[in-house]
């Protein structure tokens, strides 16, 4: 039997054919979750005109693919409908702000409303006749002005929205204000900016609760709230945590800014771009979606007839210490689990490997917690190591250390000639520990012409943490990994050759000299979802 030869996902969202990229306008409305996305209806490559594809779901896991929601029709968007966001206006009325490529290929911001608010599918959209609402302001070139955020209401009752852009050498979140959602006035200063980052695409700005995992509506006011500003640039989604000065309409980061350096926070240290959050009022949580692009070549994609995946939706909230965000696959993901295997208190001796059998390793959710009995023997961290990705590329899964590497080999062939290693290595740093989390794709496929870059992230552990957890969602060609309960995430794309005809294997390994204890291991087969 030829199994899933194209690496097509079974429980990640994407339409049956063609190219997709950024998630757009996620929203919950009358019983359905909506996700729109950048879509080329004519092929598996990025090519204008781009439209808004549209899928709906009751549970964020099974999807119905609908007709395109926004397609180029008017001078203000005739060359493409680029990214944008939904805002729910008072009276539960969703509206969309999106970027149009106008007749001169200039980037402008447009408004669209549902034709029929009694249709929970929101199938038809009407573009406002007065579009565009915003054109590139002074100092911003016509091709550097795009991707409006969800709007939020200030204390004065007026709306605010941020649009991504480039002004001189500054990546900017350009701020506008409006009383009526139609007339928008440019604010002199941006909400925030970054120096020499290049254009900021797909900004996202939202409040997070300091003392709860519950999400907050974008327009919330009150105490115990911090703000997150995310911008997409240089192929990554960077975020900062800070406060929002609503009088000056400025974001003030509390420590790290948005500079594009290896010390900035990232949602994901692998493939994950142009992401967007929305507030789910039903379950009172904030959900993050990101675009995961292919790592094979464009001619491979044309052969496959599809390219691009939306990530598993992730709940986002502030970590206990409040310094960073934590991400975790939404709880609905657990409903897809079927066949289960489990182990506990299993010792993994130095330089050993064991296979997790009894599940379908190409479609699995696996969760483990590791404990290191002699953690004080870990090697000392060298402060010169500032780039975890580089460190993972030199300290690979086969380079033995004392406390690690240990972790998973996913999408592995039986003879291990093809394997993707997701693993940890622990270092001592004064009285604390630094964990290096890696996803090593260098041996993921015998095929050539695939981007096999290794990814890495640092996780700072407190002395009390004597356990480190790892969860990986493996779905044929996509591996989404969550380290230390979601404090570092790495998403990778893999295209093993063996997968065409044979089943994948899953292993746990310890290549360090010291023993590691698997406190718990749970692995489940994942169901194929509707829409796949």
Residue with Cβ nearer ligand DQQ (20 or 403): 20
* CA distances (Å), origin 126, targets 71, 76, 469: 11, 13, 47
Minimum distance from residue 273 beta carbon to ligand DQQ (Å) = 6
Whole-angstrom distance, CA of residue 168 vs CA of residue 515: 54
Minimum distance from residue 38 beta carbon to ligand DQQ (Å) = 4
Nearest to 317 by CA among 202, 462, 206, 237: 206
Residue with Cβ nearer ligand DQQ (136 or 401): 136
Whole-angstrom distance, CA of residue 75 vs CA of residue 152: 28
Residue with Cβ nearer ligand DQQ (102 or 201): 201
Partners of residue 307 on adjacent β-strands: 19
* CA distances (Å), origin 60, targets 26, 283, 316, 339: 11, 12, 15, 21
Minimum distance from residue 240 beta carbon to ligand DQQ (Å) = 19
Minimum distance from residue 315 beta carbon to ligand DQQ (Å) = 23
Residue numbers at the binding site for ligand DQQ (CB under 6 A): 21-22, 38, 50, 82-83, 99, 146-147, 201-202, 273-274
Partners of residue 510 on adjacent β-strands: 352, 406
Whole-angstrom distance, CA of residue 91 vs CA of residue 315: 26
**Known catalytic membership, residue 515:** no
Residue with Cβ nearer ligand DQQ (171 or 407): 171
* CA distances (Å), origin 37, targets 23, 52, 319, 342, 442: 4, 5, 29, 37, 30
Non-local CB neighbours of 505 within 8 Å, separated by 6+ positions: 355, 361, 409, 412, 413, 414
Nearest to 375 by CA among 512, 208, 491, 276: 512
Residue with Cβ nearer ligand DQQ (47 or 374): 47
Which position among 22, 300, 440, 475 bears the catalytic label? Answer: 22
Minimum distance from residue 165 beta carbon to ligand DQQ (Å) = 10
Catalytic residues: 22
């Amino acid at each position: 039997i030829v199994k899933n030869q194209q690496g097509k996902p079974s429980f990640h969202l994407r339409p049956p054919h063609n190219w997709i990229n950024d998630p757009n306008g996620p929203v919950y409305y009358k019983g359905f979750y909506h996700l729109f996305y950048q879509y080329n209806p004519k092929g598996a490559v990025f090519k204008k005109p781009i439209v808004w594809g549209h899928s709906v779901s009751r549970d964020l896991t099974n999807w119905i693919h609908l007709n395109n929601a926004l397609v180029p029709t008017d001078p203000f968007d005739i060359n493409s409908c680029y990214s944008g966001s939904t805002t729910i206006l008072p009276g539960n009325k969703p509206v969309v702000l999106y970027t149009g490529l106008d007749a001169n290929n200039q980037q402008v911001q447009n408004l669209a409303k549902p034709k029929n608010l009694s249709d929970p599918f929101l199938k038809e959209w009407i573009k406002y006749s007065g579009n565009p609402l915003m054109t590139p302001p002074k100092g911003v070139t016509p091709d550097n002005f795009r991707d409006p955020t969800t709007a939020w209401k200030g204390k004065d009752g007026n709306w605010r929205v941020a649009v991504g852009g480039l002004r001189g050498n500054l990546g900017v979140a350009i701020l506008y204000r409006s009383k009526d959602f139609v007339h928008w006035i440019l604010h002199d200063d941006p909400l925030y900016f970054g120096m020499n980052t290049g254009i900021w695409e797909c900004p996202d700005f939202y409040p997070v609760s300091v003392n709860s995992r519950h999400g907050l509506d974008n327009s919330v006011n009150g105490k115990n709230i911090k703000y997150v500003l995310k911008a997409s640039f240089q192929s990554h989604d960077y975020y900062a945590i800070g406060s929002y000065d609503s009088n000056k309409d400025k974001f003030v980061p509390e420590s790290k800014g948005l500079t594009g350096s290896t010390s900035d926070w990232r949602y994901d240290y692998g493939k994950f771009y142009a992401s967007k959050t929305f507030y789910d009022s039903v379950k009172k949580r904030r959900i993050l979606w990101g675009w995961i692009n292919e790592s094979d070549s464009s001619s491979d994609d044309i052969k496959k007839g599809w390219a691009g995946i939306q990530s598993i939706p992730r709940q986002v909230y502030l970590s206990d210490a409040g310094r960073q965000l934590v991400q975790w696959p939404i709880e609905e993901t657990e409903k897809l689990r079927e066949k289960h295997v489990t182990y506990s208190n299993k010792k993994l001796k130095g330089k050993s490997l064991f296979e997790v059998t009894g599940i379908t390793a190409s479609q699995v959710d696996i969760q483990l917690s590791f404990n290191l009995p002699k953690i004080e023997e870990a090697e000392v961290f060298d402060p010169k190591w500032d780039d975890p990705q580089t460190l993972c590329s030199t300290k690979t899964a086969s380079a033995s250390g004392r406390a690690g590497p240990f972790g998973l080999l996913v999408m592995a062939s039986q003879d291990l000639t093809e394997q993707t290693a997701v693993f940890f290595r622990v270092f001592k740093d004064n009285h604390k520990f630094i964990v290096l989390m890696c996803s090593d794709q260098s041996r993921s496929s015998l095929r050539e012409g695939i981007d096999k870059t290794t990814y890495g992230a640092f996780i700072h552990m407190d002395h009390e943490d004597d356990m480190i957890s790892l969860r990986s969602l493996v779905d044929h060609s996509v591996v989404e990994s969550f380290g230390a309960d979601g404090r570092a995430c790495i998403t990778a794309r893999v295209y093993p050759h063996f997968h065409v005809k044979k089943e994948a294997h899953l292993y746990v390994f310890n290549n360090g000299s010291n023993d590691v204890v698997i406190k718990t291991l749970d692995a489940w087969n994942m169901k194929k979802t509707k829409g796949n």
